Structure 1
Amino acid sequence: MDAPDIHLLSAGTALPGAPVDNAALAGRFGMDTLWEQWIDTFVGTRTRHLAVDLKTGEPKFRLTDLCEQAGSRALETAGLTAGDVDLVVLGTSTPDQLMPATVNMVAERLGIDAVATYQLQSGCTGAVQALNMARQLLMAGEHHTALVLGGDVCSKIFDVETDLSALSPEEMVNVALFGDGAGAAVLTTRPQDRSARLVRVLTRLVGLNREPGQVLEWFTKSDRNPDRAASREDYKAIEAAVPVMAAEVLDELLDDLGWAADDLDFLLPPQLSGRMTDLIVKRMDAPHPTEITCVAETGNTGNALPFLQLERLLPRMATGDRAVAVAVESSKWIKAGFALERG
């Protein structure tokens, strides 16, 4: 029996609290207007949403909270209920705790039970990995409808009392880059009107003999080392490698599908920062597609970003439209992407 087509019915997202602009961020950390201007000019991200109270550092939202909101929104948009879901997959680099797995706490909040659940630990390509895993399981015929989740709460890593002027550049840049959020999508073997076919998913590790571009530590009481940064990033290495990797993903997807660049109606590029996204799109050199991007307003929300893009894309896709999304993870260098076509 031939494997069924997999259709994307809907996407939903959740962002915590009101947007935090660069002036508020600079003011909280006691930085001058030059730092604010540096974010505007060299990072290109204007606002982000944070799951912690910027004044006190107290958490206001957990990843479970945001994934519950996003999942509920995606199901409602698809016209489905928790009882229609028989598979849940979550991709994240910042789970709420090691156990219970965050995916299972989200399932409980949504009233989903007696189904297969999976949680993938990964950075910015985790959402694509989750889509790929759900797609493969649906194609195998054991499941019919999957809720795929992705999100990150990076702000819990930051100490709002930190003196940013004392940090190294690879630590300081993360404060400006990242925001928090979650997203969800509904995949199914049972298409609906205006659903988009998920025709290809690519995810590939390419980090052999390469130093990590980003490190996020998990400290416990026994190994907390104040001399080791909780989060650090080799932004120069990322700036050099990611545009090249993104162009490679686009070319490979187009080649695999037999699509020409001119056939592409929408492009969902990696969302590292406002400035980096501009550089990436120029390197990808796709001639005509409409770009779907949001990072300047949301910050880099990690595994939530593909869903933020999808939520903006799906209402705009007309019959026959084609879209390609690309994601790149710098932690140990993973390139990923997927292609959609509306029948």
Structure 2
Amino acid sequence: MNTPLYPTCQQYIHRLKSKKSISKQIILFTGYDYFLQKHDLKVLLARYREVILVPRLIDETYLVKEALAPIFESYTDIHLVANPEYDERYRIIYEFAAITNKNIKILTVYDFCEKYLKKVYVPESYTESNPLLSSLRSRNYLQNLSKTFIDFSVSSVLLAVSSPLWLLSRVRIAQESPGPIFYRQSRVGLNQEEFYCIKFRSMRLDAEAAGAQFSSKKDKRVFKYGAFMRATRIDELPQLLSVFRGEISLVGPRPERRIFTESFEEVIPHYSSRHIIKPGITGYAQVMYPYGAGAKDARHKLMYDLYYIKNWTVGLEFKIIWKTVLTVLNYKGY
């Protein structure tokens, strides 16, 4: 794979080449708005010889004569992912492929992301015709029944198995950072209603003396044992009690504070849709996307959260639980 993941210049297409794929196919994304992450590119480069990203702002003459012509000479099978909400360049590419006798398959970015990348595409800005609006809904009765059974049974096992860690955490927190063992913080849950999230305290008592802020991967406000708890997710264990109270689920979108959800709703389309189900201690976004804070990362995580909501199955639920176990064992929590 060559050069940077995200191009800084909007005047040229960006090409990523696979050194391992033996496929003769290439894939082009038109109206590219930086929704692919490293995991996505790894999946694509295992399937295609080249991944070509065509930004929204690019001269059409340059696109056809200078960029596409030499590429098309080397390939006959082309997969085109169109982003019709942003531009019509996919039509130009499709017509150029037709007159040069290339085999071309075309999908919208919505269909492609859900089918191949297992996430729901969320655009950078609101659009009038978004298929997401008509297809997203909460679980039915039988799904909710299955989900509740999984929540209570798995949480009961975790509570019993983790009981020694509760005592250990109580002792170590008191030693390293005298003060409350737990901390309570208001979070936004189902249907935008607030509840109190309870965790083992992993930060100093003055952690938010300067106001609300996102935690970071190597947060200096975290004391030594607190960092260990965050890496292994031991700090999340008290939330099992919230599962039994019906406030959260074992798996679901990560609950955020009101100050952050309101800011995200202003800049990320459909962000509030994640609140049509209960939040979770762990989630699809947590096991699929690396640590991040801010609107850009929130948009990426939302794509996974919405896929989870839209495509929930018992199999997906246990897949997320298993991936969470692997995350804990590999000390990759956050």
Q: Calculate the TM-score normalised by the size of structure 1.
A: 0.27
Structure with greater contact order relative to length (CA < 8 Å, sep ≥ 6): 1
Q: Quick check: which one's helix share is greater?
A: 2
Q: Calculate the TM-score normalised by the size of structure 2.
A: 0.28
Q: Quick check: which one's strand share is greater?
A: 1
Q: Tell me which structure has the larger Cα radius of gyration.
A: 2
